[in-house]
Structure 1
Amino acid sequence: MLIAIDNVLSKDEVAQCRAVLDGLDWIDGNQTSGPLAASQKQNQQLSRDDAQANEVGKAIVERLLADPRFISAALPLKFYPPLFNRYQGGQAFGNHIDNAIRHTPDGMVRTDLSATLFLTEPEDYQGGELIIEDTYGSHSVKLAAGALVLYPSTSLHRVEPVTQGARTSAFMWLQSMVRDEGQRRLLYELDGSIQRLAGSQHPEVTALTGIYHNLVRRWADS
């Protein structure tokens, strides 16, 4: 399930993030890559140990955890803290699938979902599309600054070469309370139906809400 969520950050908030991030020390992205990724990856990143970048990342997570659209789609349990990358001058990231497990100081994170939060307006760079493959084919994603795309970490994906300008983004992984992608999809669709019915005060809303929570209770990891 691929979901785009617009206006996660306002334009002013994107500008505030960029004012911090653009002034930091960017390094070769392969300093944070394994040997297989290194053969496919050409970009710049901010160090995992950069305190200012980490503060921006914390603010992004707080915003996501307050966004009901994100909660409905992801049912998040654990985050791998957001990282930041930049592509320019023909840089790209070839086809790859994200590692299944990421380690943080607080323990292991199983990567059920991957997310990219765009921090550059699409008209400010050429190329740089995020291409995500699933059973329905290839999906080209290039969103407005402040918008986020969420997709299963099992997906084959790549970033096309940025041939003009620069593309700056936050990217992250998370472990969902519900491991199975098909179950997450059903819960997302059910929650959407409940929200639409709630506006009309339909008498079945209470029953459907109970079904939703009982399914979460049955399927969720502890």
Structure 2
Amino acid sequence: MFLCIADILDRNDLEAVVGRLNATTFDDGSATAGWHARLVKRNLQARRDEPSLEELRARLAARILGNPVFQLAARPKALTPLLLSRYEPGMSYGTHVDDALMGGLRTDLAFTLFLSDPDSYAGGELVIEAPGGEESFKLAAGSLLLYPATTLHRVEPVTAGHRLAAVGWVRSHIRDASRRELLFDLDTARRALFECHGKTAEFDLLSKCSANLLRMWAED
């Protein structure tokens, strides 16, 4: 399941984050790629060990984890530290699959939080390979794309402007993607029913199903 989540960051948050990143020193991004992905990764990344960025990463992680749609779709147990990336003209990230383990954390889901206005740069689409063909994403600034870390994907070359993004990975309480999607659909329907009719017998029955499936499948 690919899920676009709007407004992870509001305008004030976005301006503060972009302003901070525009004043940040970026290094060669290939240093954080696996041995095979390093061959096709051509971007820049903010230094992981820069103390002044710790608060920024924590703020972004809090906004992501605090989003109710993200919570329902990802069922997050933990996030990896966020990577803050910058693509300038001529930069891209060729086709690759993410490492299954990062820092000892299993990566079930990946996400990209878009930080640049899509009209401010050309190219730079995130392209994900799916059974039905490729899907291309270039979201509004402050929006997030959540997708399975198991996919082959790439970032198309940026041809003008620059592309800023925060990237991270999720270890989910629900390892199986089809079960995560089933729980997401069930909980979405349950909440919609509550909004329309309140706490009914039907709502209670769906709540029982949702809770017991979560008990059956969750890894705590």
TM-score by length of 1: 0.96
Q: Distance in 1 between matches of 2:98 and 2:106?
A: 11
Residue aligning to 2:214? 216
| Superposition RMSD in Å | 1.0
How far apart, CA to CA, are the structure 1 residues paired with 2:129 and 2:195? 35
Separation in 1 of the partners of 2:53 and 2:22? Answer: 10
Q: Deviations over 1:138-174 (max 9, x none)?
A: 1100000000000000011000000000000000001
Distance 1:213 1:146 in 2: 31
Q: What one-letter code is carried by the residue in structure 1 that aligns with 2:205?
A: A
After superposition, residues 13-24 of structure 1 pair within 5 angstroms as 13-24=13-24
Q: Deviations over 1:81-104 (max 9, x none)?
A: 11100111110000000000010x
1:99 to 2:95 alignment: no
Shift of 1:15: 0.7
Pick from 164, 175, 181 the counterpart of residue 160 of structure 2: 164
Name the residue aligned to 2:54.
54
Q: Aligned to 2:141, what secondary structure does the other structure show?
A: coil
Other structure's SS at 1:144 match: coil
Correspondence for 1:26: 26
Contact 1:20 1:52 in 2 (8 A): no
Any conservation in 2 of the 1:54–1:82 contact (CA below 8 Å)? no
| Distance across 2 between alignment mates of 1:220 and 1:61 | 22
**Which residue in 1 is equivalent to 2:201?**
203
Q: Percent identity?
A: 40
Matched, 1:118 2:114: yes
Question: 1:10, CA displacement in angstroms?
Answer: 0.8
Separation (CA, whole Å) in 2 of partners of 1:21 and 1:55: 12
Amino acid at match of 1:90: G
For the pair 1:39 / 2:39, whether they are aligned, the reply is yes
TM-score, scaled to structure 2: 0.96
Mind listing any 5+ residue stretches in structure 2 that lack a counterpart?
Answer: none
Q: What's the secondary structure of 1:131's corresponding residue?
A: strand
